[in-house]
């Protein structure tokens, strides 16, 4: 249970405060509701590149990191398909420095050519390090366009290709900022050694002067229903074969999300789960296998990915997954249901161990509609029945809703 | 109008409050540390054994024993063990390092009563069945094959080998054929010798009731494990620094490791070197990051660190850079190392680093699990809280001259090994 208070500034910035005086620190989390799905299909990777530029100095402050470190603070950020999140932790006595820094970069950035040029290179190295220079690193770059034909989820946050990042201009950067980085498109959480009064006072001083912008309707193209199985086979210089199955599933906003999430848990949560026990331990077709929900804000994917044991035919491995899925549709036991609910309960508790995580959780659920959802997760999961889970399985775990990527080793035949 | 050009007044760090752990002694004389705080109903129990790689003929035995201990015990199969824990949303994390091996149970207050017996069975009667060993080996071999395609992995293992040689657990290079060393007999032997007979400490952290504390204590007393706190000596070959290039064709980046054998936290230069290392490559604003990432854009990330064991430690610089800028990146790394030996760190930068490290220390004790890690480190190194208080004191007093002296003593180029894996 995370206690909090919530208020909104005149410029539309939503603020959530969780006071915890047992820590000498404060965590400050700002979530901007913009992600890779908001990019131009010809300029992908931009939301993430932009995140890097947010550290390249703001309108009145030449460096973001230096003053923060001087105040004993530390920060980081991440971008996904739906939102971009910035967070810092700082000793409570220096909290105002956090407000000064975060409000100035919400007001405007410095937009220097040097910063753009350097961060373009840094992001290109990130692209190489994480996606090109790792075995199977490009699997997602291939899987997304297979599963999505029109929706922007067809590209990864890093972007479709390096050239999109190389071609980014300062004009693009400015436009992107003007469109999305505004108080009425953000959620600010303050968690830790800071009272609500103090947070209000600092918000009024630093954030109120920032004007709201007129937000445009996203109007993203919706993905048409998939009607037949899609396949892609990749051969590459990797040691073993892997398989990825992507099934279209509902959006995070949909009430069916919870049953779908539990469905992925029945499949693969813990070593006692069906996929691991049957396919790794008993049949030894895989050395590892897992299933998970992406939980995107628009219609999303349920993923099954497995590392196929050497010497096993990939088709045989794939058939075994579908066999297991069919068996699951016959029902799950009460004990299994209780197990995944207990797991959902402990996962929530373990995700709230630090003030930084609490701050992020509150901002995330506020984006979904209400910060208090953070405290309701346990009850929502508890209300799901076996029938709910089976119905989702029957609806989405079917071949015509599936995209299969088989990533094969050159060494095998 | 508010002034957005200058930072609000900063309050310089003064003192730090490290909440204590409560010590008690178990029946076998092993110490038990309890850190009872936190807001969430979660509990973590660590059992720490003198069962790291140092104590095995090959590191694969120590790691294998540690991983396989939860894969079946007594009357229960591996599947049943997983089932019994998963049922209550609990899980084990097992870790095996150079000195110690740890078995941790993560559970909730609500279900601790149901999960403690599972901890007991895996600790006291592991089976190490051939079938589980085979599965583990197959997974390990495949993982090794994947890692052999990563430049970062290649650079790291050859770097450690260059530092420690073929006779030290950190330096030994594991090959696929080494998995054949794993069998029921070798694992049981290692388990008997190093788990049953070498319990070093128990650390419990979370929000606990007196009843729960008592239940944990009873369980551990009932294990009848021997306590051990050995002061072993390691024999380390003296190796000359060398440069290596490992070729991995077609890679678009090159991984770099530069460093040398160093010391542990008891060395007189430990605090100074920690601060020096932070300036060099220990935080986002470090010199390596500022130069090689934020100014040149050669890499996604670069850092340096001091890894310590009970008896020694090593220093390393680590990065992956674009293959075409490898030589320039190396040049800049050595430039930064020399600059620290030649020039004094400006006051402004030193005071920034001091404040950053102070905040960083506060972050490292935020949350009951994080705090318990700090207490564990102290205890396993036979140190007290004074160690951290001395560190905070040194942080306040250290001068630019001290930093330069430390760099001159420890960062001289011809004492460093350089390992690159790339195209």
Residues A249, A268: Cα–Cα separation, whole Å:
17
Residues A27, A88: Cα–Cα separation, whole Å:
6
Q: Which fold has domain B22-221?
A: Cytochrome Bc1 Complex; Chain A, domain 1 (3.30.830)
Residue A103: pLDDT band by 50, 70, 90 thresholds?
very high
**What's the CA angle centered on A366, arms A75 and B360, to 5 degrees?**
20
Residues B138, B115: Cα–Cα separation, whole Å:
29
Residues A83, A34: Cα–Cα separation, whole Å:
5
* Chain-chain contact of B108 with A345 (C-beta, under 8 angstroms): yes
Residue B161 has pLDDT above 60, yes or no: yes
Residues 81-110 of A with CB under 8 A from B: 89-91, 93-94, 96-97, 99-100, 103-104, 107
Query: For residue A407, what are its two tokens?
Result: 């990533």
One DSSP character per residue, B126-184 reads: B---HHHHHHHHHHHHHHHHHHTT-HHHHHHHHHHHHHH-TTSTTTPPP-GGGGGG--H
Counting Cα atoms < 13 Å in the Cβ hemisphere of A343 gives 25
A182-209 average pLDDT score = 97
User: Are residues A89 and A74 in contact, defined by beta-carbon separation less than 8 angstroms?
Assistant: yes
Which CATH number is associated with domain A230-409? 3.30.830.10
Residue B233: pLDDT band by 50, 70, 90 thresholds?
low
Interface test with B, best of A20, A76, A91 (most B CBs within 10 A): A91
Of B160, B148, B156, B230, the C-alpha closest to B193 is B230
One DSSP character per residue, A150-216 reads: SSGGGS-TT-S-HHHHHT--HHHHHHHHHHH-SGGGEEEEEEES--HHHHHHHHHHHTTTSPP--PP
Residues A351, A294: Cα–Cα separation, whole Å:
17
Chain B's closest residue to A337, CA to CA, is B87
Counting Cα atoms < 13 Å in the Cβ hemisphere of B230 gives 17
- Percent of the residues in chain A that have a pLDDT greater than 70, as a whole number: 100
User: Are residues A307 and A236 in contact, defined by beta-carbon separation less than 8 angstroms?
Assistant: no
A155-183 average pLDDT score = 94
The pLDDT value recorded for residue A67 is 95
What average pLDDT is seen over chain B?
Answer: 94
Of A13, A63, A9, A51, the C-alpha closest to A177 is A51
Which chain A residues contact residue B205 at CB under 8 A? none
Q: What share of chain A is helix, strand, coil (3-state, %, to 5)?
A: 45, 20, 35
Residues A36, A81: Cα–Cα separation, whole Å:
4
Q: Outline which parts of chain A fall under CATH 3.30.830.10.
A: 5-206, 230-409
Residue A413 has pLDDT above 70, yes or no: no
Q: Taking the CB of residue B337, how many other CB atoms lie within 10 A of it? A: 22
Residue A412: pLDDT band by 50, 70, 90 thresholds?
low
User: Are residues B224 and B128 in contact, defined by beta-carbon separation less than 8 angstroms?
Assistant: no
- Chain A with chain B: Cβ pairs closer than 8 A: 219
Chain A's closest residue to B255, CA to CA, is A129
Superfamily of domain B243-422: Metalloenzyme, LuxS/M16 peptidase-like (3.30.830.10)
Rg (CA), chain A: 23
Sheet with B101-108: list strands edge to edge: B22-25, B31-36, B199-206, B42-49, B101-108, B91-96
Interface test with B, best of A28, A73, A161, A349 (most B CBs within 10 A): A349
Of A44, A32, A251, A233, the C-alpha closest to A156 is A44
Counting Cα atoms < 13 Å in the Cβ hemisphere of B291 gives 19
Query: For residue A116, what are its two tokens?
Result: 């753009």
* Bridge partners (DSSP) listed for residue B321: B254, B299
Interface test with B, best of A3, A104, A242, A353 (most B CBs within 10 A): A353
pLDDT digits (tens, 9 = 90+) for A256-275: 999 999 999 999 998 899 99
* Bridge partners (DSSP) listed for residue A76: A87
* Chain-chain contact of B285 with A130 (C-beta, under 8 angstroms): no
Chain B's closest residue to A93, CA to CA, is B11
* Chain-chain contact of B83 with A272 (C-beta, under 8 angstroms): yes
B392-398 average pLDDT score = 95
* Chain-chain contact of A122 with B297 (C-beta, under 8 angstroms): yes
Counting other chains too, the contacts that B209-218 makes at CB distance below 8 Å and 24 or more residues apart are B209/B109, B212/B43, B212/B109, B212/B112, B213/B34, B213/B36, B215/B112, B215/B113, B215/B116, B216/B45, B216/B112, B216/B116, B217/B24, B217/B26, B217/B32
User: Are residues B28 and B202 in contact, defined by beta-carbon separation less than 8 angstroms?
Assistant: no
Tell me, what DSSP letter sits at residue B10? P
* Chain-chain contact of B299 with A125 (C-beta, under 8 angstroms): yes
Q: How close A342 gets to chain B, by Cα (Å)?
A: 5
* Chain-chain contact of B284 with A74 (C-beta, under 8 angstroms): yes
Residues 351-410 of A with CB under 8 A from B: 352-355
Chain B's closest residue to A357, CA to CA, is B367
B168-174 average pLDDT score = 93
Residues A297, A299: Cα–Cα separation, whole Å:
7
Of A273, A275, A293, the C-alpha closest to A283 is A275
pLDDT digits (tens, 9 = 90+) for B336-351: 999 999 999 999 999 9
Which chain B residues contact residue A238 at CB under 8 A? 146, 149
Residues B289, B283: Cα–Cα separation, whole Å:
8
Counting Cα atoms < 13 Å in the Cβ hemisphere of B23 gives 12
Residues B27, A111: Cα–Cα separation, whole Å:
65
Q: How close A173 gets to chain B, by Cα (Å)?
A: 18
The pLDDT value recorded for residue B312 is 87
SS3 B238: coil
A83-94 average pLDDT score = 96
* Longest pairwise C-alpha distance within chain B: 76
The pLDDT value recorded for residue B234 is 65
pLDDT digits (tens, 9 = 90+) for B276-330: 999 999 999 999 999 999 999 999 999 999 999 988 899 999 999 999 999 999 9
Q: What share of chain B is helix, strand, coil (3-state, %, to 5)?
A: 45, 20, 35
Q: Where are the domains of chain B?
A: 22-221, 243-422
B220-230 average pLDDT score = 92
User: Are residues B173 and B159 in contact, defined by beta-carbon separation less than 8 angstroms?
Assistant: no
B169-183 average pLDDT score = 94
The pLDDT value recorded for residue B268 is 95
Which chain B residues contact residue A93 at CB under 8 A? 11
The pLDDT value recorded for residue B39 is 80
- Percent of the residues in chain B that have a pLDDT greater than 70, as a whole number: 98
The pLDDT value recorded for residue B238 is 75
pLDDT digits (tens, 9 = 90+) for A54-75: 999 999 999 999 999 999 999 9
Interface test with A, best of B356, B358, B369 (most A CBs within 10 A): B356
**What's the CA angle centered on A72, arms A66 and A76, to 5 degrees?**
65
Query: For residue A197, what are its two tokens?
Result: 């009064």
What kind and span of H or E run contains A364? helix A355-368
Query: For residue B157, what are its two tokens?
Result: 């293992």
Q: How close B237 gets to chain A, by Cα (Å)?
A: 34
* Chain-chain contact of A126 with B250 (C-beta, under 8 angstroms): no
A192-206, B112-126, B230-244, range with the lowest pLDDT: B230-244
Using CB atoms, pick whichever of B253, B293, B368 lies closest to residue A133.
Answer: B253
Query: For residue A296, what are its two tokens?
Result: 């995107």
Q: How close A87 gets to chain B, by Cα (Å)?
A: 14
* Chain-chain contact of B320 with A133 (C-beta, under 8 angstroms): yes
Which chain A residues contact residue B300 at CB under 8 A? 122-123, 125-126, 129-130
pLDDT digits (tens, 9 = 90+) for A322-358: 999 999 999 999 999 999 999 988 988 888 888 999 9
pLDDT digits (tens, 9 = 90+) for A203-213: 999 999 999 99
Q: Does A126 touch chain B (CB under 8 A)?
A: yes
Residue B139 has pLDDT above 80, yes or no: yes
SS3 A23: coil
User: Are residues B45 and B199 in contact, defined by beta-carbon separation less than 8 angstroms?
Assistant: no
* Chain-chain contact of A72 with B8 (C-beta, under 8 angstroms): no
- Percent of the residues in chain A that have a pLDDT greater than 90, as a whole number: 92
Which chain B residues contact residue A350 at CB under 8 A? 40, 42, 106
Interface test with B, best of A128, A209, A238, A276 (most B CBs within 10 A): A128
Residues 191-250 of A with CB under 8 A from B: 205-206, 209, 237-240
For residue A388, which phi and psi values (nearest 5 degrees)? -60, -45
The pLDDT value recorded for residue A1 is 86
SS3 B15: coil
B265-285 average pLDDT score = 97
pLDDT digits (tens, 9 = 90+) for A144-159: 999 999 999 999 999 9
Of A123, A114, A104, A107, the C-alpha closest to A50 is A123
How far lies A30's CA from each of A181, A352, B99, in Å?
Answer: 11, 18, 41
Interface test with A, best of B2, B5, B11 (most A CBs within 10 A): B11
The pLDDT value recorded for residue B158 is 97
* Chain-chain contact of B86 with A281 (C-beta, under 8 angstroms): no
Using CB atoms, pick whichever of B8, B85, B252 lies closest to residue A96.
Answer: B8
Counting other chains too, the contacts that A320-325 makes at CB distance below 8 Å and 24 or more residues apart are A320/A278, A320/A279, A320/A283, A320/A285, A321/A243, A321/A245, A321/A275, A321/A279, A321/A289, A322/A399, A324/A274, A324/A275, A324/A278, A324/A279, A325/A393, A325/A397
A110-135 average pLDDT score = 92
Residue B232 has pLDDT above 80, yes or no: no
Dihedral in degrees, nearest 10, Cα atoms B361, B363, B369, B375:
10
* Chain-chain contact of B284 with A100 (C-beta, under 8 angstroms): no
* Chain-chain contact of B39 with A128 (C-beta, under 8 angstroms): no
Tell me, what DSSP letter sits at residue A62? S
Which chain A residues contact residue B351 at CB under 8 A? 70
Q: Does A128 touch chain B (CB under 8 A)?
A: yes
* Bridge partners (DSSP) listed for residue A302: A247, A293
Q: Does A272 touch chain B (CB under 8 A)?
A: yes
* Bridge partners (DSSP) listed for residue B255: B320, B421
* Chain-chain contact of A132 with B369 (C-beta, under 8 angstroms): no
Dihedral in degrees, nearest 10, Cα atoms A324, B122, B107, A284:
-20
What kind and span of H or E run contains B271? helix B270-277
Residues A5-206, CATH architecture: 2-Layer Sandwich (3.30)
């Amino acid at each position: 249970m995370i206690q909090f208070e919530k208020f909104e500034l005149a410029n539309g910035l939503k603020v959530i405060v969780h006071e915890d005086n047992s820590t000498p620190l404060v965590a400050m989390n700002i979530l901007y509701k913009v992600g890779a799905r908001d990019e131009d299909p010809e300029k992908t990777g931009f939301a993430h590149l932009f995140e890097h530029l947010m550290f390249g100095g703001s309108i009145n402050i030449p460096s973001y990191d230096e003053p923060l470190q001087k105040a004993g603070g530390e920060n980081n950020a991440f971008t996904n398909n739906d939102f971009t999140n910035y967070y810092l932790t700082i000793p409570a006595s220096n909290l105002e420095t956090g407000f000064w820094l975060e409000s100035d970069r919400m007001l405007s950035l410095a937009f220097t050519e040097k910063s753009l040029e350097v961060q373009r290179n840094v992001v290109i190295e990130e692209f190489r390090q994480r996606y090109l220079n790792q075995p199977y690193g490009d699997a997602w770059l291939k899987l997304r366009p297979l599963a999505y034909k029109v929706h922007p989820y067809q590209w990864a946050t890093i972007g479709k290709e390096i050239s999109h990042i190389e071609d980014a201009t300062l004009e693009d950067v400015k436009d992107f900022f003007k469109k999305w980085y505004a108080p009425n498109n953000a959620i600010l959480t303050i968690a830790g050694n800071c009272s609500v009064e103090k947070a209000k006072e600092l918000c009024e001083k630093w954030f109120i002067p920032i004007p709201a912008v007129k937000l445009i309707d996203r109007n993203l193209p919706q993905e048409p229903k998939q009607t037949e199985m899609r396949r892609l086979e990749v051969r590459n210089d990797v040691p073993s074969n892997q398989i990825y199955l992507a099934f279209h599933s509902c959006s995070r906003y949909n009430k069916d999300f919870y049953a779908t999430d539990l469905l992925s848990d029945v499949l693969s949560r813990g070593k006692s789960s069906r996929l691991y026990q049957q396919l790794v331990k008993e049949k030894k077709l895989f050395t590892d296998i897992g299933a998970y929900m992406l939980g995107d804000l628009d219609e999303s994917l349920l993923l099954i990915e497995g590392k196929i044991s050497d010497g096993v035919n990939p088709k045989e491995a794939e058939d075994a997954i579908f066999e297991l899925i069919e068996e699951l549709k016959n029902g799950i036991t009460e004990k299994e249901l209780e197990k995944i609910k207990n797991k959902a309960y402990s996962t929530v508790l373990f995700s709230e161990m630090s003030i930084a995580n609490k701050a992020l959780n509150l901002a995330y659920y506020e984006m979904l509609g209400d910060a208090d959802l953070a405290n309701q997760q346990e009850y929502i999961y508890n209300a799901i029945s076996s029938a709910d889970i089976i119905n989702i399985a029957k609806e989405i775990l079917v071949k015509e809703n599936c995209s299969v990527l088989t990533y094969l080793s050159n060494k095998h035949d | 109008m508010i002034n957005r050009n200058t930072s609000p007044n900063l309050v310089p760090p003064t003192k730090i409050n490290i909440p204590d752990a409560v010590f008690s002694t178990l029946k076998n004389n092993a110490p038990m540390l309890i850190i009872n705080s936190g807001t969430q109903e979660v509990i973590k129990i660590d059992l720490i054994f003198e069962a790291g790689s140092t104590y095995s003929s090959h590191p694969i035995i120590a790691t294998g024993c540690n991983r396989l201990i939860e894969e079946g015990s007594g009357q229960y199969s591996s599947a049943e063990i997983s089932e019994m824990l998963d049922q209550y949303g609990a899980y084990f994390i097992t870790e095996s390092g150079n000195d110690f091996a740890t078995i941790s149970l993560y559970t909730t207050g609500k279900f601790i009563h149901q999960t403690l017996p599972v901890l007991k069975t895996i600790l006291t009667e592991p089976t190490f069945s051939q079938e589980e060993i085979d599965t583990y080996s197959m997974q390990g071999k495949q993982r090794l094959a994947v890692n052999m395609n990563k430049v970062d992995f290649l650079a790291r293992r050859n770097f450690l080998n260059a530092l420690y040689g073929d006779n030290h657990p950190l330096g030994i290079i594991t090959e696929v054929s080494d998995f054949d060393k794993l069998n029921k007999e070798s694992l049981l032997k290692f388990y008997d010798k190093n788990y049953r007979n070498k319990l070093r400490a128990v650390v419990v952290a979370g929000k606990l009731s007196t009843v729960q504390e008592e239940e944990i204590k009873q369980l551990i007393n009932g294990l009848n494990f021997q306590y051990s706190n050995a002061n072993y000596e390691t024999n380390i070959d003296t190796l000359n620094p060398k440069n290596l290039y490992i070729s991995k064709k077609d890679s678009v980046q090159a991984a770099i490791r530069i460093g040398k054998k160093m010391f542990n936290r008891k060395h007189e230069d430990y605090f100074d070197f920690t601060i020096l290392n932070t300036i060099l490559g220990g935080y986002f604003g470090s010199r390596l990051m500022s130069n090689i990432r934020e100014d040149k854009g050669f890499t996604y990330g670069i850092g340096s660190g001091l890894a310590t064991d009970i008896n020694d430690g090593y220093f390393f610089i680590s990065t992956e850079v674009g293959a075409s800028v490898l030589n320039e990146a190396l040049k800049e790394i050595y430039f930064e190392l020399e600059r620290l030996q030649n020039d004094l760190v400006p006051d402004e930068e030193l005071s920034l680093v001091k404040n950053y490290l102070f905040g960083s220390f506060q972050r490292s004790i935020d949350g009951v699990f994080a705090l318990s890690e700090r207490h564990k480190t102290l205890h396993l190194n036979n140190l007290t809280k004074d160690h951290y208080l001395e560190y905070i004191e040194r942080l306040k007093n250290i001068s630019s001259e001290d930093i330069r002296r430390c760099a001159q003593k420890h960062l001289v180029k011809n004492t460093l090994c350089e390992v690159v894996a790339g195209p």
